[in-house]
Amino acid sequence: MPAEWGIKIAGAHRFAMKNGTPALAAPVAGLTAHIRKGPVGGANEDAVLALNHALVRSHLGLEISGQTDRIIQIDHWRGGPAAHVTSAVQIEVAAGASATVVETFSGSAAAHLGNHATRIKVGDGASFTHIVLDKSDHISRHLASFDYEIGADVRLRSLVINDGAALSRTYISANFGGSGSHGDFGGLNLAGEGTHLDIPLDIVHAVAGTTSTELFKQVANRGGKAIFQGRIIVARGAQKTDAKMMMAGLMLAEGAQILAKPELEIYADDVVCGHGATCGDLDDEQLFYLMSRGIDPADARAMLVRAFVEELFDFLGEGDLYDVLHDVMSGVASDWVAGQ
């Protein structure tokens, strides 16, 4: 996966951001790119995002106006000696447009502190898939914020995977501002020894007639800590909201920690909302079944872990585009299991 620098995704239209500095790629139909001065906009009051706004000098701006058949990759890489690296991206998806954007993070073996922000505006009737993959070096610190403004009749799919940094905080916020929209939000923390991975999530259903699902999974080995803090807010007047949040955790050894705090704040009275959390270890009966068929115990454990996380990739669907993404995402999970 990691090449000389960065992460390569086969067939992707790649924008490189080396040490926070954006660079433009060759033009492609339906996509316009700019380098703009200053931070991205937004009124989010998150403290980490406020620090990003104070320090970012320029950001990459993408405008998607049609249907893009190729994956758009934004490849963030932090190199050289340890440094504080800030970066930002703003994506505007026009009404009726369709695109898949993958943001990847990696870097050299140094104690970098990264602080990144992406702001995404999805226009009415658009279909947008956004995948984030953190493969930062295991001694680095990775802070990231992703903010979605969602119009009417939108189909949004969001997936975050953390597997790399010693300390990671990936904050996700979304505001449903138009009726008829649906969002699928997913995330995966793969916490090995000495890692602390945190995903805070805020979903606001601000208008009537919107739906969402939130499925987050966490796998922790001995000495690893995985955290999920999720909140769904249904505003006053946001009737007919349907929102369901679930966190599932898998602890592989004594000393693993998984923390979950799902929340609902509901100010409307005609809604269908729910949340839940579950956590446990591998099923002994399933392990025994696999081993009774001659499968090595380590391979049997790896198979069960991969099966546990595979559900997150179901939304990728079928076709060449999604086959590539599925191979990348499932490969990350397999590599992590093999290294434990």
The least confident of 50-59, 184-193, 321-330 is 321-330
Does 193 lie in the same domain as 54? yes
Pair 196, 163 in one domain: yes
Q: Lowest-confidence range among 3-17, 60-74, 78-92?
A: 3-17
Residue 40: DSSP 8-state: -
The answer to whether residue 183 is domain-embedded is yes
Q: Is there a domain that residue 5 lies in?
A: no
For residue 8, being part of any structural domain is answered with no
Number of Cα atoms under 13 Å in the Cβ half of residue 164: 30
pLDDT at site 28: 87
Question: Are 272 and 287 members of one domain?
Answer: no
Output the CA torsion 190→191→195→197 (10° steps): 60
Residues 32 and 43 in one domain: yes
Structure tokens at 45: 């009051």
Between 303 and 333, residue with greater pLDDT: 303
- 271 and 290 assigned to the same domain: no
Whether the predicted pLDDT of 323 surpasses 80:
no
The answer, yes or no, to whether residue 312 has pLDDT greater than 70, is: yes
- Among left, alpha and beta (phi > 0; psi -120 to 50; other), residue 55 is alpha
Distances (CA, A) of 226 to 3, 85, 195, 233, 249: 27, 24, 8, 23, 9
Contact 46, 145 (CB under 8 A): yes
Q: In the predicted model, what is the mean pLDDT of residues 205-214?
A: 98
- The rounded distance, in Å, linking the Cα atoms of 122 and 128 is 7
φ, ψ (nearest 5 deg) of residue 324: -60, -50
Distance (Å, rounded) from C-alpha 210 to C-alpha 176?
7
Does residue 302 lie within any of the structural domains? yes
Residue 67 shares a structural domain with residue 22: yes
> Within a domain: residue 62?
yes
Tokens matching residue 282: 């591998």
- Nearby residues of 201 by Cβ (< 8 Å), 6 or more positions away: 171, 172, 173, 185, 187, 214, 216, 228, 229, 230, 231
Question: Domain total for the chain?
Answer: 2
Residues 202 and 323 in one domain: no
Distance, in Å, from the CA atom of 146 to the CA atom of 160, rounded to the nearest integer, reads 10
Alpha helix positions (H), the chain? 47-55, 284-292, 297-310, 320-338
Instruction: Give the C-alpha distances (Å, rounded to integers) separating 170 from 160, 205, 217.
Output: 8, 21, 14
pTM to 2 decimals?
A: 0.93
* Mean pLDDT (the chain, rounded): 91
**Rounded Cα–Cα distance for residues 79 and 110 (Å):** 8
In the predicted structure, residue 2 carries a pLDDT above the cut 60: no
What is the pLDDT, as a whole number, of residue 310? 86
- Strand, helix or coil for residue 297: helix
Other C-beta atoms lying within 10 Å of the C-beta of residue 81: 8
Write out the residue range of the structural domain in which residue 86 sits. Answer: 13-281
Q: How confident is the model at residue 319 (pLDDT cuts 50, 70, 90)?
A: low
Q: Is residue 172 part of a domain?
A: yes
Q: Over the stretch 25-64, which tens digit does the pLDDT of each residue have?
A: 888 889 999 999 999 976 677 889 899 999 999 999 999 9
Q: Are residues 114 and 214 in the same domain?
A: yes
Q: Which of 257, 281, 305 is the last residue of a domain?
A: 281
For residue 60, being part of any structural domain is answered with: yes
pLDDT tens profile 148-170: 999 999 999 999 999 889 999 99
The Cα–Cα gap between 115 and 126 comes to 29
Domain endpoint, select from 249, 281, 313: 281
Percent of the chain with pLDDT over 90: 76
**323 lies in some domain:** yes
For residues 154 and 165, state if they share a domain.
yes
CA-wise closest residue to 325 among 92, 97, 70, 112: 70
Are both 199 and 290 inside the same structural domain? no
pLDDT exceeding 70 applies to what percent of the chain? 94
Asked if residue 119 lies in contact with residue 147, where contact means CB atoms within 8 angstroms, the answer is yes
Please tell me whether residues 208 and 329 are part of one structural domain.
Answer: no
Quick one: pLDDT at residue 290? Answer: 94
194 and 124 share one domain:
yes
